[in-house]
Amino acid sequence: MPVNLTAPDPASLLPIAGVRLGIASAGIKKPGRRDITLIELAPGSHVAGVFTQNRFCAAPVTLCRQHLAHGGIRALVINTGNANAGTGEEGLRRARRTCEAVAEIMQCAPEQVLPFSTGVILEPLPVDKILPALPAAQADLAADHWSEAAHAIMTTDIVAKGASRQAQVGGRTVTVTGIAKGSGMIHPNMATMLGYVATDAAISPALMQQMVKEVADVSFNCVTVDGDTSTNDSFILIATGQAGNPEIRDTGSADYAAAKLALSAVAIELAQAMARDGEGATKFMTIAVEGGRDRAECKQIAYAIARSPLVKTAFFASDPNLGRILAAIGYAGVGDLDVNALKVWLGDVLVAENGGRAASYTEAQGAAVMKEAEITVRVALNRGKASVTVWTCDFSYDYVKINAEYRT
């Protein structure tokens, strides 16, 4: 079961002026499943995105990159049950057909539609099921359907993921709301999942790409479940500009910082929710590496720990086999790391220093911490001022079962 995670109260997901969402059933994988989400954006909205770096990227990712270059995005369409990845030119043709159908009912150009797919790879997109469902999704459009959309984009997720924040920007109250899906095939190489965060703040289109990248880097690029980077990973940032604040045009301004803080808070909550809802998860783990020469080496070490199957299975068993953490630090690839200078804590318990077990550490202390549902591993490298925090989960028997039965 998800670790200390419940679906958000629908009333807590605040509407964003200029955004409406509609849900429908195409029955792509299961009859009656609400698996189509349509998002309508008001004219003048600005949109930016970051996508998977997997070379086998899905057809909708290719089209999204192309359409974002045109600008003027007016609609997003999301299907679950089929990834439209590993489908070649035919996959692109079917994704384009979906965009054309959305454009027809939304009265915009196909290039103003962003398509997204998630589900089984190497299967043709069933446009014969998707296209007939689009009018129903359009008829369902409403500003307060964020919760319904959060449920509709789920695949192996157990809990829907959504969050909202408000902040003062330029003397106005601006609202941020986001939803995401992700439970497995989660590892940062951009942002590993489907995520959509919208705000009514006015942000210059020239700053949108920088903003989405900076937000992704402190949130979705700091979570891992199993070390697999999906073919379909997409994170989209939408700014409708309807809050009435002066348009943010300077990355060094207080308004940029305030907007980024609110956007990041929503994205971080969504990213942590994915680790809490990791396939088969029973533990939520925070890996904090500090005192590095730069963020890059801190991330190398943090991810070596966070994605290690041996570390993750030890946490599932509540077994303080902490030599596995030291081994991961050692093979992370930081060639000149002085292991005698670093320290490692499990929770508040000092585990290792001076190149080995801390003199004060006892197995009973480690065992007590390992029984907790939320655990922090802190590593102090003592060679600089950089730091990184990432989030992950354990590996349980259910992880294997869920993935072994994924297509059944």
Assess contact for 180 and 118: CB atoms under 8 A. no
Integer Cα distance of 126 and 161 in angstroms:
26
C-alpha–C-alpha distance, residues 299 and 189, integer Å = 12
> What is the spatial distance between Cα 61 and Cα 50, in angstroms, rounded to a whole number?
10
C-alpha 159, offset from chain centre: 14
Helix (H) or strand (E) holding 44: none
- Spatial contact of 150 and 17, defined as CB atoms under 8 Å apart: no
Of the candidates 33, 238, 232, which has an alpha carbon nearest to the alpha carbon of residue 151?
Answer: 33
Q: Alpha-carbon distance 235 to 116, whole Å?
A: 10
E strand residue ranges, 261-385: 284-292, 343-346, 349-353, 356-357, 374-380
Edge-to-edge order in the sheet of strand 75-82: 19-25, 34-41, 75-82, 113-120
Tell me how many degrees the CA angle 366-368-369 measures, rounded to the nearest 5: 70
Tally of helices (H runs) and strands (E runs) in the chain: 11, 15
The CA distance from 276 to 380, in Å, is 25
Q: Which of 52, 192, 231, 240 is catalytic?
A: 192
Apex 61 CA angle, 104 and 86, nearest 5: 110
Amino acid at 213: K
HEC per residue, 159-194? CCEEEEEEEEECCEEEEEEEEEECCCCCCCCCCCCE
Residue in 361, 370, 359 with CA at minimum distance from that of residue 317: 370
- Tell me whether residue 6 is one of the annotated catalytic residues: no
Query: Which residues are annotated as catalytic?
Result: 192
